[in-house]
Each structure stands twice: as structure tokens, then as C-alpha cells.
A and B are shown apart, each in its own frame.
Chain A
């Protein structure tokens, strides 16, 4: 199993970056790798340059040494020839003992030199000259023995001086012919050396030109690498510095985002992106803090309003109780019952304002309100309940349904003299896990324009705190059940209005369910 890249691990472990699915890290380069590659290239180019220069110099030197060696051997050959000539001359003129050993030794040396030269020679003309020299050396050798013999005869008076000297003159002639070849071979060798060196020089120059061009190209490539490297490092650092200066100047909330080029090295990109994400996270935290402060302020204001509101219900409750007692004393039983129901309703609103109750309790209290309204409107308005009690155990803010029914009376069927109908409906959708609170009337309804305006106001209330009934209900439900609470209004002029709140109740363990 391949090792995970450290940068990848960092990203995987840090939830802050868990959403970065598109970030490709494994194939990217780090500054360290880039630097290493640069140093390897620099070192390699230098090494190769030195190596090739050394090799070429060595090749030149070796060729030079070979030529020098040839010249030395050639000199040695002709020195030996001179020695042979001197020995023969000395032998003939001084009539000394035959210098056979010395002469043969020198002749052997000459032959060895020639063999050495012939073996290494590549020029046919020089080789030919060396062949001739070898023949002449051999000719000297074959003529020395007869010369020694002639000397013996001459000493014994059996041969004339002329006979002796004709033999020696022949050897002198050969030896001198050999000497004359020295200049010829030397000149040929020198010509060869000159040509060879010129050719070598031309080749070396040509090679160095190509070599310099190639090295120049590599040098420019290295310069380009340096430029890329400095850009890859300085670019992100500069971006970070600018972002830091902006934060210092304008604060986090107004700071710009930090972005880097796609060509930036992996490590610097990580650094920059971490900085960028930290900036975003800080901005988000700041927004949350600001929002929390606003909500806290709103809650404080609401609490104050609630305290103020508590004064009136108490006064109203006491007054209603007094009126109810009076109605009994005056035998006005129906009035007394209405007043009693109204007093209980006020009592409920006083006790449970701002608190949570079960939907069941809410519907019970709504019943009191409906009773009062039935007494009020008689046959003009009928109130219908279609209830799904499977989720009535949920807790909702108190007085959620009463404003809705009140709106249906006031804006819907209140003006009707007959056939007014208000339906209160609860329903739980198991498939979506949604509980529905619906109040529907067959009243005046509203235009589409007004419906949209009301919906807008409801949502505005959530943000601005405007007090309208629906907005209040919607806001309180959202505070209890979260942002997924939604409201729907369906209405048509002269046909009625339907207001429905959807409360998210996912995986709600319903009574009786398994």
C-alpha cells in the first residue's frame, strides 16, 4: 500500500479541508523537490562539462604523446645507425678488432625501433619509408660479416686494401642513404602531426562550439529554473503578505480572499490555502457572533415586551372574573359562561406565554377560544376540527393556532352573515416526517399580489422583527423547530384562504409505532 502524502493526510485529518475533494496533491511538486532537482541539474551539468573537457584534453595529450614517442623512437633508430657507421669507420681505419657485438646490438636496436614504428604506423607513405629502412638495415647486417672477413684477409696480406674498402664504402653508402631517409621520414611525420593536430583542433573547436551551444541552452534552462523557483516562492509569500496587510488595515470581515496560481509548488499552495480557509472560517465565526448578539438583543427586547404584556392580562383577568360574578348575580348565565371562558383564556395566555405546551394542550385551549367565537357568531360561522392525533404529543410554543383562527375570522369569514366555515386541521406525513398545522376558511380570500406581500412580510418579520400575527407564529416555530419550518398560504378572492405550517419531525417516535 503506497504511503500517503503528508499534505494529503493533513487535509484528510482537518475537517476544515474535508470539502476539498478537487485538490490534487500527489502529482504536485514541492519547493524542496524543485530545489533538489535544480541542484542535481547544476551539479550534473558542471560534472559533465568537466568530464568531457578532461576527456578531450586527455585525447589530445595521448595523441601528442604518441607522436612524441614516434619521434623519440625514430631518433633512436638513426642514432643507432650513426653508431654503426662510426663503429665500421673506426674498424676499417684503425684496423681494430671486429666490433661485431656492438654493431649487431645497434642493428638489433634499429630493427626493434623499426618494428615498433611500423606496427603503429597508419600512413602508407611513412610505412613504405620504414620498409625501405628495414631493407637497408638488413643490407648493412648482411655486409658486415664479409667486411670482417675481408679485414682478416687484408691483415693476413691475402686481400688488397681496395677490396677491404669497397666493402666498407658500400656500408657507408647504405648508412648514409639511411640517414638521408631520416629527414624524409621526420618531415612526413611532422606533416602528419601537423595535419593530425589541425584536424584534431578543428574537431575540438567544432565540438566545443556544439558543446558551448548545448551548455548555453542548459544554462538558460537553469536560469529559467531559478526564475520559476523564485516566482514559485515569492508569489505566494507576497499574496500572503498583502492579505495580512489588508486584514490589519480593514479587519477580517472586509479582507479579501487569498488565491495562488495553479503553478505554485504544493507546500506553498497548502500554506496559502490554509491561510485562505482560516480567513474564511474566522469571517464565518465573526458573522455568527454578530448574529448571536443581534438575537440576544432581540430576545431581551421581547422579554421586556412580555413583562409589559403581563400587566394587561392580569387586569383583564380580574375584571373578567368580576364581570362573570356580576353576571351570575344578575342571572345572566350565558354571559357569565362567556366571561368565564374568556377569563380562562386570558389566564392561559398569562401562564403559558413564551412557554412550550403539547399540541394537544394547544388544541384544547383553542377549543375555549372557538367556544367564545361560536357564541359570538352563532350560525354565521361553523368551526370544524380535522385532527391527526398521532403527533399531538409534540411540544410547540403556546398560542400558535389561536392567532391563525383569529386571522381567519377577522380577514376571512367575519363579515359573513351565514355559511362561514373555519377548519382547523392537523396532519402527520410519515413519508417526509412533517407535521402540518393548517387553518382554512371559506372567507373573502385575497389577491395573489396580497398573498405574496403577506408571505414577504412573514419572512421579513423573521429578519426585522416586524409584528404581524403570522410572522410571529412563523418566527416562534422556527425558533423551536429550526430553519426547516415552512409556511404556505393558498388563497383566492371570494373563495377562502388556507394557511399551513410544516414542522419537520424526522424519525419522530410516534405512540404505538415500533
Chain B
């Protein structure tokens, strides 16, 4: 059939062959999914932190995700409401049933049950890393977070730098029973005292809402004529300053230093209602927590350590303070956590 004169047939067959080949290649390109397999013996950690997926806690989770990639670990993140410490305890109890290599959670020195369960885990050879808030009495392996005392001092120094004469400052917080705010205030006070030209007019504890804050600010401005500075010791109060600034023109005459870099806070700096904010490296907290566990855990289950990052030196047990820096109108759009 394909003798001389069968050129048309040859052409047809060649065309069909080419057509099939191209389709085959395309099929492979489009549909072939190599079964890569997943590593099944990764060190397993549980991270039990506050629920929000964005903002501060979102950065913590992003740091954990990055660290999992870098150190080849598997960290399961569970969230609980910031006000629901019972749920945190419940989630931690669940961890007891699992054969895990480490736990990351948020400490709270005031919750006894939390400290007890952390202590129990440590005694069961499950290393616990506390982030954001420490609770040394829990017996945790490591605390990774901001040095709140230093953060308070940094805020005070910024106010002193901005005001030449005497400084009369009011402090806004959501609860001095919270250790991190108390630490910040301690550091803040120490720096002011060291300067010899500053006094704290009042430490106001307000609710975490805009109206409560506005009431407090109105009260302070009406009560203290000499007040020329204000320090917001935590994130939620700081973000409402920007929102309150539109209603309270007197705020513009004050030097106001806040905390954390929520979107509203940064916008308040851009709008001139806020002079500066102290920011924490939340992502580093998550990242360092996993790195700590990957370098210290594994003994319990006998899994091979898979750390392969040379970004940091191994962390010693104890405290690891992540970096803090100050953001002002000058660097509000360009700052970057190293």
C-alpha cells in the first residue's frame, strides 16, 4: 500500500503520527502529576495560640509556616479566643494524647491550670515554648518574645527625645495585671526616672473599645493641663488613638507613642495623630519557636533532627528576645523587620 505513489498515504500517516505525538506530549504536560511522596517522619509540634489569622498573630503563624519549610517540621496550629484560656487548656490537654515532639503556646502566669499542664508536659519530656507572653513559673523550656521592659524604656526615650522640657505623661493600658503591660510600664517608668525631667500623671486602664478610650482621653486632657505626652502600652489602645484623633483635636498637641503595627496604628502615624509606635517581630517569634524545638526536641520520639537552616545559631534554653524597633512618620511606609 505504501509503495511508490503512496505519498499521500505516507503524508496522512505522518500527519496523524505528529498529531498524536503532540497530543501525547500535551497530555503529559497538562495531566502528569508526579507522585513526589511526602516525608512521613517529620518532627510534630503543636502550636496553640490566639485565633486571629491576620495582624500580630497572623505574623506569628506565618513565621511558623516558614520555619516548618526551613527545618522540615510539621506544626499544627490551633487557635483559641484571646479571652478563652479554658479552651487553651483544653487544647493543651489534647496534646497529651498525641505523641508530639514539642508544643508552642502563649503563657499566662495568672492561669494556674495552664502552668500546671505546661509543667506536666515538661515532665513528660514534651518541650514547651512560650511565645509573646512568658510564664516562667510554668517550667517551660523557653520563652521567645519581646523584652517588654526594654520596649517600655524605648517608648520613654522616644518621648524624651521629642520633648525638650519637662515631660508630663499619661499611660493608657488595658490591664496592669497583664505581665507584659506591667513590664512595659516598669521599663517606661525607669527610663523616665533616669531622665529626671519627667513624671507619669496617671496610669489609666480602659476597656478595649474606642468609646471607653475616648472617655479616658477626654478625662485626662480636661484634668491635666500640663499633660504633653501619652503612652499607649498595648496594641488595641494604640489603634483606637487614630480613630479618636478625628474627634479629639487636642490629641495633635500631645506626643503619643503607641505599641504594635496594626493597620489603624500605621494610618494614625500617617495622619499625624500618633508620633511613633514600638513594633515587635511577631513573625520571628513563631519562626524562632519552631527553630528552638527542632534543635532541642526529637529526643522524646527518637526522630532524626532535620534542621537545615543556618539563619541563626541554635537557641539556648531560657529566654530569647526578638527585636523591637520604633516606627515614626519617617519610616512608616518603609520599615521592615530584619
Contacts and interface: CB of A to CB of B under 8 A. Distances in A.
A128 B75 CA distance: 8
Contact of B13 (A40, A129, A174, A203): A40
Contact of B16 (A29, A44, A131, A132): A44
Interface string A4-42: 010000000000000000000011111001101110110
Contact of A174 (B12, B31, B74, B97): B97
A211 interface: yes
A401 B35 CA distance: 112
Interface stretch (B1-9, B148-156, B187-195): B1-9
Contacts of B38: 121-124, 127
21 contacts: A3-B3, A40-B9, A40-B12, A44-B12, A44-B13, A45-B19, A48-B16, A59-B31, A118-B40, A122-B35, A122-B38, A124-B74, A135-B99, A136-B98, A138-B99, A139-B97, A173-B93, A173-B94, A174-B97, A177-B94, A214-B19
A461 B162 CA distance: 137
A56 interface: yes
Residue in B9, B13, B37 whose Cβ sees the most chain A Cβ within 10 Å: B9
Interface in B257-295: none
A233 B281 CA distance: 83
Contacts of B7: 27, 29, 33
Interface in B10-38: 11-13, 15-16, 19-20, 22-23, 26-27, 30-31, 35-38
Contact of A34 (B8, B16, B26): B8
A221 B15 contact: yes
Nearest to A39: B12
B4 A5 contact: yes
A38 B12 contact: yes
Interface string A88-111: 000000000000000000000000
Contacts of B30: 203-204, 206-207
B98 A135 contact: yes
Given A48-B23, A131-B44, A135-B99, A37 B74 contact: no
B120 to A, nearest CB: 14
A393 interface: no
A293 interface: no
B76 interface: yes
Interface of B: 1, 3-9, 11-13, 15-16, 19-20, 22-23, 26-27, 30-31, 35-40, 42, 44, 74, 76, 93-94, 97-99
B35 A45 contact: no
Contacts of A26: 4-5
A123 B36 CA distance: 11
Nearest to B6: A33
Given A26-B5, A129-B76, A207 B26 contact: yes
Nearest to B4: A26
Nearest to A41: B12
Interface string A139-165: 100000000000000000000000000
A353 to B, nearest CB: 65
A167 to B, nearest CB: 14
A55 B20 CA distance: 13
A9 to B, nearest CB: 14
Nearest to B9: A37
B8 A29 contact: yes
Contacts of A174: 97
Contact of A177 (B8, B44, B74, B97): B97
A466 interface: no
A218 interface: yes
Contacts of B94: 173, 177
Given A36-B9, A40-B12, A218 B19 contact: yes
A266 interface: yes
Given A5-B5, A136-B98, A128 B12 contact: no
Those 8 A-B pairs whose CB atoms lie nearest each other, nearest first: A37-B8, A44-B16, A37-B12, A139-B97, A41-B12, A135-B98, A207-B30, A37-B9
A132 B75 CA distance: 11
Contacts of B36: 122
Contacts of A135: 97-99
Interface in A211-235: 211, 214, 218, 221
B8 A266 contact: no
B12 A30 contact: no
Given A37-B12, A38-B12, 17 more contacts: A27-B5, A29-B7, A33-B7, A36-B8, A36-B9, A37-B8, A37-B11, A40-B12, A128-B42, A132-B44, A132-B76, A173-B97, A177-B97, A206-B30, A211-B23, A214-B19, A221-B15
A132 B78 CA distance: 13
A70 to B, nearest CB: 15
Contacts of B35: 122
A286 interface: no
B16 to A, nearest CB: 4
Residue in B9, B11, B12, B93 whose Cβ sees the most chain A Cβ within 10 Å: B12
Interface in A399-457: none
Contacts of B15: 41, 218, 221
A122 B98 CA distance: 22
B288 to A, nearest CB: 21
Nearest to A123: B38
A128 B44 contact: yes
B19 A33 contact: no
Nearest to B8: A37
A8 to B, nearest CB: 10
Interface in A158-184: 173-174, 177
Contact of A33 (B5, B20, B27, B93): B5
A352 interface: no
B76 A48 contact: no
A481 interface: no
B4 to A, nearest CB: 5
A52 interface: yes
A204 B20 CA distance: 17
A288 interface: no
Contacts of B4: 2, 5, 26-27
Contacts of A122: 35-38
Nearest to A140: B97
